[in-house]
Structure 1
Amino acid sequence: MLQRTLLPLLFLTLLCTSVRAQSSVEEFRLGGTARILDDECIRLTPDVQFASGSAWYEKAIDLNEPFEITVCLVLGKNDEDGADGIGFIFHPTMRTGYRGEGMGFAGLVPSLGIEFDTYQNYHLGDPAEDHVAININGRTHHASSITGPTPVGNLEDGSKHLLWINWDPIEKQLSVMLDGKERAKLSANIVAELFGGNSTVFWGVTAATGRKTNFQDICIKKLTFAEAKVQPKVDFGGKR
C-alpha cells in the first residue's frame, strides 16, 4: 500500500505551495488565537508568548471508513528560541485538551494525538531534536507514547512541510508521513481498543507557544473521509 501512495505523495511534495485545497478553511471551527490567513491556510498561533489556537473540522468522521489528510505545516522560523509545535487530535467530542507542552490533547480520554514537537521538555522525555510521536488518552510523557518519539530534521525553518496522515480500517493501520518519509506507524484496532467501539470522532489541530515562540500554520491540501451518518452534539466550549 505504501508503494501505491508514494508517487502521488512525492508529486504533492513538489507542489506543496500550489496544490488546490479540496476542503475550505471555512469548514473549521477556530478557537483561541487561530485565524484564517487565506483560502487554504490557518494561522494557529502568532509569534508571541503564551498563545494557543485550535481548528476543528466541523463534522465528525467515521473511523470504520478510511481517511486521508494531506496538509502542509509551517512551524515558524525561530529555531533555538522556538516552541512548542502542532498536535493532531482525534476525540469523540470537539474538545481541546491542555495547551503548551500538552499539545492540545493532554487530559483527553479517550483520545489519539499525533504531535509534531519543536521544543524539548526534559520532564516529558523529549529528545533534543524536533520530533514526531503518537500518544493516547491524553498522556504526553514519551514513556507512554505508543509510537516514537522519532527525531526529524529542523521543522522551524519557515518552510511548508508536507504531512500525510492515512487510516486504513481494513488493515487497521495508521500511517504518518512528513516531507515524503514515514515518521510514525500504528497497527491497532483504534475503534475497539481506544474508542470503546465508537467509530464517530472529531479531528482537529492545535498549537501553542510559551516563553519561546513561533508562528504556526496549517494549510489544507486534501481531505478524504466519510462523515459520520449521525452527527453528535458539538461541544466547543471546553477549552482548557
Structure 2
Amino acid sequence: MHFRSLPALLALSLFFLAPALAAQSSVSEFRLGGSAAVLNDECIRLTPATPYVSGSAWFQNPMDLEYPFELTVDLVLGENDELGADGIVFVFHPNMQTGYRGEGMGFAGLYPSLGIEFDTYQNFHLGDPSGDHVAIMPHGQAHHARSMVGPVEVPNLENGAKRPLTISWHPGKHTLEVRLDGQLRASYTGDIVAEIFGGNSKVYWGATAATGRKINYQDVCIRKLVYAMVD
C-alpha cells in the first residue's frame, strides 16, 4: 500500500507526513456507468437534464479506510428548482456499480455501502424534509428512518453553481465529516469498517445521481483527492 495525492490540476499535496507517492489525477481514471459522461478535464456529468436516468463515476483504484482521507470535489445540482430532481450521492462500496434511478439517486440497492446524499427533491414517503438536504445513509437505503445522520436541511442547491464539498475520515477517532460550501453539515462517529463493511477496509469511492419524472443536469468536478490507495 502507498499514499497517493490526486489533485485535479497542478498542485500536489500530502495528507500527512509519511512515505508517499504523489501523482496527478484526471477524469479518465474514473469508471463511468449509466448516463455519466465526461464534460472536460475536471468535470463529469452524472445525469443530463433527461427523465428517468441514473449515472455513476467511480475512481478505479480502491482506498483503505484504515488510513485517513480527505476528498474535495465540486457538486453541481442543476438549475431546475421546483421542477428539479433528484440529487447526488457520494458513495463508498466494495464494487463499482450504479443503483436505482429516481428517488434512489443511483445509490439505492448498493449493499454493503455508505452514502452521503445531497437530495434536491422531497419524497414524502421517504421522510424527506421540505428543503434540500444532506444525510448519511447505510446500505443503499433511501428512507430516512435508516439515516445514520440527518436529514439536515441546507440552502437551495439547484442554482447551477459549483458547491465545494469536502469529505474527511479520521480512523483514529472513527469520525466522518462532511463540509458543503465550507460549513460542517454532517458528522458521524463510529467504526464504519466494522459496522458497514463487515471488517473489510478496502472500498471504492464514487458519485452517483439520478432523475425521475423531474430532471436536472448533475455534475461532479474533481479538485483534490488524498488517501491511502490499495496496491
User: TM-score scaled by structure 2?
Assistant: 0.88
CA distance in 2, matches of 1:38, 1:213: 22
Identity %: 64
Contact 2:53-2:101 at 8 Å conserved across structures: no
Counterparts of residues 40-189 of structure 1 (less than 5 Å)? 40-189=42-191
Contact 1:24-1:40 at 8 Å conserved across structures: yes
How much has 1:20 moved relative to structure 2?
A: 6.5
Counterpart code for 2:73: V
Larger proportion of helix: 1
Gaps of 5+ in 2: 1-8, 13-23
How much has 1:23 moved relative to structure 2?
A: 2.1
Secondary structure of the 2:193 match is: helix
- Structure 1 residues 149 and 108: CA distance shift in structure 2, 3 A: same
Q: Deviations over 1:44-97 (max 9, x none)?
A: 111111121110110111000111110000000110000000011111112222
CA distance in 1, matches of 2:124, 2:171: 35
Contact 1:106-1:139 at 8 Å conserved across structures: yes
CA distance in 2, matches of 1:75, 1:19: 26
- Aligned partner of 2:226 in structure 1 is 224
How much has 1:103 moved relative to structure 2?
A: 2.0
Secondary structure of the 2:117 match is: strand
Counterpart code for 2:120: T
Larger proportion of strand: 2
Choose 181-190 or 93-102, whichever is displaced more. 93-102
Gaps of 5+ in 1: 1-17, 230-240
- Aligned partner of 1:36 in structure 2 is 38
- Aligned partner of 1:25 in structure 2 is 27
Which of the numbers 195, 198, 216 marks the counterpart of 2:197?
A: 195
Counterpart code for 2:125: H
Secondary structure of the 1:226 match is: strand
CA distance in 1, matches of 2:193, 2:208: 22
Q: Deviations over 1:106-137 (max 9, x none)?
A: 22221101100000001000011000000101
Counterpart code for 1:69: L
Q: Deviations over 1:181-231 (max 9, x none)?
A: 1111010111112111110001111111111111111100000011113xx
Size of the alignment, in residue pairs?
A: 212
- Structure 1 residues 42 and 156: CA distance shift in structure 2, 3 A: same
RMSD: 1.5
Q: Post-superposition, which runs of at least 4 consecutive aligned residues in structure 1 deviate over 3 A?
A: 18-22
